[in-house]
Amino acid sequence: MVLARTQAEMIGGPAALLPPRQPPCSGRLSLGMLLLGVGLLAPAWPALVRPQPAAASEHAQASSWLTSYEEALAVAQRTGRPVLTVFTGSDWCPHCKTLEENVLFTETFREWADDHVVLLMIDLPQAGISQAVRSERSQVCIKYGVRTFPSVLVIGPDGSKLASQTGYTGQSAAAWIGAIAEKMPAATAQTASVRPAINQGLAASQTPVVGEDAGTVCESLDDAVEKSRGTKRPILLVVSRPGDKKATTHTASLINHPEFAPFVHDHFVVAQVPPEAPSGSETAQSMENLLGGVELPSEAVELIVTEDGQTPLFSQSGGQPPARIVNGLRRFLAARQAARFGEASRR
């Protein structure tokens, strides 16, 4: 919008042009504005860049929104929560303003956000911020490929993009929260007031473990089997060699990862076990069956899903990124649920 006006002025055209038409649900951030933001395009219209008394960043700070990407990631790392990042243009994007009024600055949204996410607002107005701030915020847009405003990204504590949503179509605060929550990691998305009937193919009747057992890790296969009988959840075995320093460190990191840990404790009975047991014992035979008779290599971490402690239903390497592991487990649970529905329909 600024570039169109400036180009007309530079070639001697009228100073007041109609703003370019925008798509119905979003504004478009031009490449020129991004280049300007990072200092690769010099501004040719100093008279147009004038401070505004009510910048969106000030409004964001007053509403518990952070405006620094680095600060938001630091808070996410301390709390284990993802960063809900809103990319907006406060003085040129009408859909951004509507999203703020209808959703982001409502009590319904604030109550949900306080329990689940770190809030970050990246505002790129046409005027009212310094070139240094513009450059810093534009770099975040470039990093995540954001070109349409408003855009919403869910960013993990490690900086990875977990989910995204563009535009705004006028939903209520509750409907908008529900849509974004469905795209988030399971433990951060679910709330008492906004929760889908089925989450990634999982029946809503599969309620999280609560009380003293929530988040606990069994230390033996027998304990996991006994607990599984009571909760009717599959068992997820995290198998690594005792005394293997690298495997032990990786196992501890995985079990406490902010995306992996809440998801598996919501849907599995988790046990951390060695690959071997005293020779001749029932556990030794069970572990041999579960590992397919293959010796676990040093420094390896293996994830195995079983229901009876004898038969492996699914396995994958624990050396993969946590997000990939979670996606694999989601697919297993969805296939398991679909198979159960199929069996029920044939009866």
Kindly state the average pLDDT of the residues 281-295. Answer: 89
Compute, in degrees rounded to 10, the torsion defined by CA atoms 153, 157, 158, 163: -30
Order of strands across the sheet that contains 151-155: 118-123, 83-88, 151-155, 161-166
Residue 30 CB: number of other CB atoms within 10 A?
A: 15
Burial of 85 (0-12, 13-18, 19+ CB in 10 A): buried
**CA-closest candidate to residue 87, choices 34, 36, 48:** 34
With cut-offs at 50, 70 and 90, classify the pLDDT of residue 66: very high
Which pLDDT belongs to residue 124?
93
If we measure between CA atoms, which residue out of 329, 336, 332 comes closest to residue 186?
329
- The answer to whether the predicted template modeling score (pTM) of the entire model surpasses 0.85 is no
Query: Tokens 């290599």, residue?
Result: 297
Q: Which domains does the chain have, with CATH numbers?
A: 18-42+54-189 (3.40.30.10), 211-346 (3.40.30.10)
Q: pLDDT by residue (tens digit) across 154-189?
A: 999 999 999 899 999 888 888 898 888 888 766 544
Residue 203 predicted with pLDDT over 50: no
Confidence at residue 178, expressed as pLDDT on a 0 to 100 scale: 86
Contact 83, 118 (CB under 8 A): yes
Q: Identify the pLDDT of residue 83.
A: 94
Residue 35 scores a pLDDT above 50: no
Tokens of 34: 């991004």
**For the packed helices 173-182 and 107-116, what is the interaxial angle rounded to 10 degrees?**
20
Where residue 340 falls among pLDDT bands split at 50, 70, 90? confident
- Which of 24, 294, 38 lies closest to 142, judged by CA? 38
